[in-house]
Amino acid sequence: MSLDATNELGAQPRRNVSELQQSGKIKPVPFRGGGFVHSRHRFIAPILFVVLVILWEIGSQTGFISNIALPAPSEAAGAMSDLFETGMIWNHLSASLYRLVVGWSLGSLIGVFVGLAIALFSLVRAGVSPFISALFPIPKIALLPLFIIWFGIGEGSKVATILFGVFFPTVIATYGGVDNVDRNLIRMGQSFGLSWISIVRKIIIPGALPAILSGFRISASIAIILLVAAEMIGAEFGIGAYILMAGALFATDQLIAGVAMLSVLGLTVGWLISRAEHMLLSWRA
Amino acid sequence: MELILDHVNHSYGDVEVLNDISLSVGSGEIVCIVGPSGCGKSTLLRILGGLEKPDAGAALIAGDPPADSLNPLTYVFQDFALLPWRTVEGNISLVLEDHSVRKDKARAIITDVLARTKLSEFANAWPRQLSGGMKQRVAIARALSVNPAVMLMDEPLSALDSQTRELLMDDLIELWGQVGFSACYITHNLAEAVRLGHRIVMLSRRPGKIREIVDIDIPLNERINHPAETAAIQRRLWEAMRDEARAADRELSDVA
Ligand SMILES: Nc1ncnc2c1ncn2[C@@H]1O[C@H](COP(=O)(O)OP(=O)(O)O)[C@@H](O)[C@H]1O
Ligand SMILES: [Mg+2]
């Protein structure tokens, strides 16, 4: 084949395209990609939230939404500002935060330790993990009466409920995380003569950290649920007690205010954990 | 110091993996071990470095390792085994910390090995930012930092593309010219073995027996100028290995 011939062959498609374009017998290959990709829209959620609240307010003002079924946002805001004026919000918030922080921290701390022990020592795993599996599915709120007998009606029983609720998922997240640490990395540590404690501290725990932190995310929401439940049974102060009292009086504006507090609490906790992930797992990018 | 395997046999359950293997890695010597996949090369290396106990026979050390050797038998792994949560520098300091080499001394060692492996600019990079070839360079730097008497390298270049492999082979030869390390170098790639090995030990298919030992006298840095001789050795090795490899390929196995 001569060079000219190849040239001609090479040029052929281009000539055809222009011919076909003129004749109108040509169309682009239909595009089928795209979609299924997340792009960031930072302002959509706040705007949507504000729009919904405005619509709700308008609905309530015009009587489209019955005041008995749902109070207007402005009424809920009024209940909220009452809380601030009387200073009661600090009583409720501090009581709730105390229980949440103490219960969650202790539960997480003990949970991580027990999880590590289960993952690292086969004797502990054989002995303890069946109990964990058996106790994990029990709704801890069902044990509250027992906790009241054991730890008293005061703070003890509430903190204990949260502590136990947080403990089990933390244990499971921790030992699952350790089990998933790349064995080759551990072999590497051994082959360089690292001590057992160094392998645990520098290879196993950092390797399990992503799983532990996502466990924290779950245990924190469990803690908030249990907090409210425990406060609904025999507490003077606390967000749960406030909501229960509002419900009993059918003060729906206060009820909505209480629920809003819980939502803010949950968002704050989620944000804190995101910060922690960002700081501790920066290597993942 | 000399590292010796003395009549080693090993089985996993009923599967006999190694059969009466004896070999030795002398000071400053690179011994390449080739063999079809699944013949027990990695097992042999694990036994050689004390990560596994053989059923019979023993791995032995003759003579004392150099006094300044922190970890006489040091591995370089096929999958690099870098900690993703430590930077390049951090990955190297990891193995120094436990030998109580700290601060200035550690810094001096890290700077030195990074320079030797051409990684100086990447001291603060994360492993995820590095290409495969760079990751293996970091792993080699880490191995050099503990001043090993023998490096145990398990298919160190097999996860890399062929161009990167060529580059790293050149680097290893240059490095050997500088430090004269000893190594037991496992590969299934005969071209690598012929480029890097002072001695090539060929194993049969499983159970791995020593099939052939070839000494190559051409100095490492001159091999590139003797393409005919090296090609002839490589062809001879391939003739010997082809049937083993074909048979190994047709064997049923539960482990990949
Ligand atoms: N931990 C193990 N348990 C059971 N069998 C194993 C184990 N490690 C390797 N084997 C088996 O031993 C044989 C040799 O494995 P290996 O040493 O990894 O071979 P190579 O590195 O030469 O490909 C293979 O058939 C493999 O299935
Ligand atoms: Mg192998």
End-to-end CA distance of chain A, in Å? 55
- B86 and B199 fall within a common domain: no
pLDDT attached to residue A153 = 87
- Which atom from ligand 1 is nearest to the alpha carbon of B186? 21
Q: Report how far residue B2's alpha carbon sits from residue B62's, in angstroms, rounded to the nearest whole number.
A: 5
Could you tell me the fold of the domain covering A74-284? MetI-like fold (1.10.3720)
Q: Report how far residue B80's alpha carbon sits from residue B128's, in angstroms, rounded to the nearest whole number.
A: 12
Structural domain boundaries, residue B182: 20-65+150-256
In a domain, residue B176? The reply is yes
- B193 and B173 fall within a common domain: yes
pLDDT attached to residue A22 = 76
Q: How many CA atoms lie within 13 A of A112 on its CB side?
A: 18
pLDDT attached to residue B250 = 82
- ipTM of this predicted structure: 0.89
- Which atom from ligand 1 is nearest to the alpha carbon of B43? 17
- Please work out, in degrees rounded to the nearest 5, the angle formed at the alpha carbon of residue A257 by the alpha carbons of A254 and A258: 90
What are the sequence ranges of the domains in chain A?
74-284
Contacts of residue A60, defined as CB under 8 A and 6 or more positions apart, other chains included, come to A67, A70, A71, A72, A73, A74, A75
In a domain, residue B56? The reply is yes
* B98/A198 Cβ within 8 A: yes
Which residue's CA lies nearest to atom 20 of ligand 1? B38
Domain C-terminal end among B97, B122, B148: B148
pLDDT attached to residue A1 = 44
- B140 and B157 fall within a common domain: no
CA dihedral over A284, B114, B1, B176, signed as positive or negative? positive
3-state class percentages of chain A: helix first, strand second, coil last, to nearest 5: 80, 0, 20
**What CATH number is associated with residue B195?**
3.40.50.300
Torsion of CA B202, B206, B207, B210, to 10 degrees: -10
- pLDDT tens for residues B131-181? 999 999 999 999 999 999 999 999 999 989 999 899 999 999 999 998 888
In a domain, residue B10? The reply is no
Query: Edge-to-edge strand order for the sheet containing B199-203?
Result: B73-76, B150-154, B182-187, B30-34, B199-203, B210-215
pLDDT attached to residue B149 = 92
Question: Between A and B, how many residue pairs show a Cβ–Cβ distance under 8 A?
Answer: 56
Q: A196 vs chain B: nearest CA distance in angstroms?
A: 10
Partners of B11 in beta bridges: B16
In a domain, residue B217? The reply is yes
pLDDT attached to residue B38 = 86
Residues 142-201 of B with CB under 8 A from A: 142, 146
- B41 and B92 fall within a common domain: no
pLDDT in tens, chain A (285 residues): 444 544 555 555 566 777 777 777 788 899 998 888 888 888 999 999 999 999 999 999 998 988 888 899 999 999 999 999 999 999 999 999 999 999 999 999 999 999 999 999 999 999 999 999 999 999 988 888 899 999 988 899 999 999 999 999 999 999 999 999 999 999 999 999 999 999 999 999 999 999 999 999 999 999 999 999 999 887 889 999 999 999 999 899 999 999 999 999 999 999 999 999 999 999 987
Helix (H) or strand (E) holding A84: helix A73-86
Q: Find out whether B88 and B119 touch, Cβ atoms under 8 Å.
A: yes
Quote the DSSP letter at residue B49. T
pLDDT in tens, chain B (256 residues): 899 999 999 999 999 999 999 999 999 999 999 998 888 999 999 999 999 999 999 999 998 888 889 999 999 999 999 999 999 999 999 999 988 887 889 999 999 999 989 999 999 999 999 999 999 999 999 999 999 999 999 999 998 999 989 999 999 999 999 888 899 999 989 999 999 999 999 999 888 999 999 999 999 999 989 999 999 999 999 998 888 888 888 877 655 4
Q: B140 vs chain A: nearest CA distance in angstroms?
A: 13
Mutation site for B-interface testing, chosen from A180, A190, A191, A201 by largest number of B Cβ within 10 Å = A191
- pLDDT tens for residues B115-133? 989 999 999 999 999 999 9
- B98 and B221 fall within a common domain: no
What is the number of structural domains in chain B?
A: 2
Helix (H) or strand (E) holding B7: strand B2-12
* A192/B95 Cβ within 8 A: yes
How far out from the chain centre does Cα B167 lie? 16
Domain C-terminal end among B117, B148, B179: B148
* B71/A185 Cβ within 8 A: no
* B79/A283 Cβ within 8 A: no
Ligand at shortest distance from the CA of B158: 2
Torsion of CA B18, B21, B26, B30, to 10 degrees: -50
- B37 and B120 fall within a common domain: no
* A191/B49 Cβ within 8 A: yes
Structure tokens at A230: 């425990």
For A187, nearest residue in chain B (alpha carbons): B51
pLDDT attached to residue A18 = 75
- B256 and B170 fall within a common domain: yes
pLDDT attached to residue B133 = 92
Quote the DSSP letter at residue B18. E
For every residue of B71-99, DSSP letters joined together read SSEEEE-TT----TTS-HHHHHHHHHHTT
- B154 and B234 fall within a common domain: yes
**Residues lining ligand 1, CB < 6 A?**
B 12, 15, 17, 35, 37-43, 206, 253, 255
Structure tokens at B121: 């600019």
Domain C-terminal end among B89, B124, B148: B148
- B221 and B113 fall within a common domain: no
In a domain, residue B158? The reply is yes
Taking the centre of ligand 1 as the mean of its atom positions, its distance from the CA of residue B56, in whole angstroms, is 17
